[in-house]
Homo-oligomer: A and B are copies of this chain.
Amino acid sequence: MLDLCLLGTGGTQPLMNRWLTSLVVRYSGHALLIDCGEGTQIAAQRAAVSLKPVDKILLTHLHADHVSGLPGLLLTMGNMGRSESVSVIGPRGTERLIDAVRVIAPNLPFDLRVSELETEQELMYFLDCDIEAFAVRHGVPCYGYSITLPRAGKFDAAKARALGIPLPFWSRLQKGESIEHEGQLYTPDLVMGPPRRGLKITYCTDSRPTPAIAAAAQNADLFICEGMYGDDESLPKARENRHMLFSEAARLAAEAGGVRELWLTHYSPSLPNPKAYRDIARAIFPNTHTARDGWTKELRFEDE
């Protein structure tokens, strides 16, 4: 089971009734955070989500509305007693940014391990999950992220019994181990069915629409995508500021294939009521929702 909370849904600057866009994803007692604008630690308090277990912070890009909450968050994590290291991953410039963050937040009681993304597409891990970073188009180096929890095939007990595989080996084979015993090699493929559908979240702010985003979002259970402007008349502004319209985000969700649900976020401060434009997106991708601060979701494997 993966669960997630979209801590905020604003872009550009925090508003008194809208926190900046940031996502926390939790798995097995650990958490990762995507972006941390000013106020993210307060948004997390409101959502009753502890950020102490955040092991990994993924930055989409280095604009202040996505990073300026880092000094306060890191200090608060230290005050909460965190001593385990925290990884920070982001585009070129992240090391320089973290040097600046350390000036504002010195003497942290844990290590910060910084790494910069260098290519169009990179793979990382978060416990059992795969993380794919994919470059998007925003005028400055910027990435989206897909987090996938893969799921192995089903164990075929009848087959294992028929092959005479000793019972103590069954669970090891289920975990993907190969075992040699009395001259016999037992491999998982003997008893495991084909991989089953796992869980997948794809996250993308800030960008113009690109084919890479649609490709990354394929088969996502939840695609969280920026929708800076609600109406199609804002296209010139969206182009100028390298952002997306609701309709553009919905088109990406439709084109990706297999997306189950789309949440729009990262609304312009000039957009007080995103819901008023929701139907524009639903005409293109029906299962679209204009997300609000603090929305949560649990993702579970299909038959669990």
Binding site for B on A (CB under 8 A): 12-16, 37-39, 41-42, 45-46, 62, 64-65, 67-69, 71-72, 75-76, 79, 96-97, 99-101, 103-105
Knowing A103-B97, A104-B97, A104-B100, say if A42 contacts B67 (CB, 8 Å).
Answer: no
Q: Is the CB of B64 within 8 A of A105?
A: yes
A200–chain B nearest beta-carbon distance, Å: 31
Query: What's the least CB distance linking A124 to chain B, in Å?
Result: 24
Selected from B15, B38, B41, the residue in CB contact (under 8 A) with A69 is B38
Residue on B nearest A18 in the bound complex, by CB: B42
**Closest CB-CB distance, A97 to chain B, in whole Å?**
6
Bound complex: CA A39 to CA B103 (Å): 19
Q: Residue of B at shortest CB range from A12?
A: B79
Quick one: which of B15, B42, B46, B71 contacts A68, CB cutoff 8 A?
B71
Closest to A269 in B: B79
Q: Which residue of B lies closest to A42 (CB)?
A: B14
In Å, the complex CA distance between A46 and B15 comes to: 9
A92: shortest Cβ distance to chain B, in Å? 14
Contact B45 A15 (CB under 8 A): yes
9 A-B residue pairs with Cβ-Cβ distance under 8 Å, sorted by A, are A12-B79, A13-B72, A13-B79, A16-B46, A37-B72, A65-B75, A68-B68, A68-B71, A97-B104
What residues of B have a CB within 8 angstroms of the CB of A103 in the complex? Answer: 96-97, 99-100
A69 to B14, CA, bound (A): 11
**Are A13's CB and B41's CB within 8 A?**
yes
Q: What 3 A-B pairs are tightest by C-beta distance, nearest first?
A: A100-B103, A100-B100, A38-B72
Complex Cα–Cα for A103 and B165 (A): 61
Smallest CB–CB gap between A71 and chain B, Å?
5
Docked Cα-Cα span, A101 to B14, in Å, equals: 17
Q: Which residue of B lies closest to A102 (CB)?
A: B100
CB neighbours of A72 from chain B (8 A): 13-14, 37-38, 64-65, 68
By a CB distance below 8 angstroms, the chain B residues around A37 are: 72
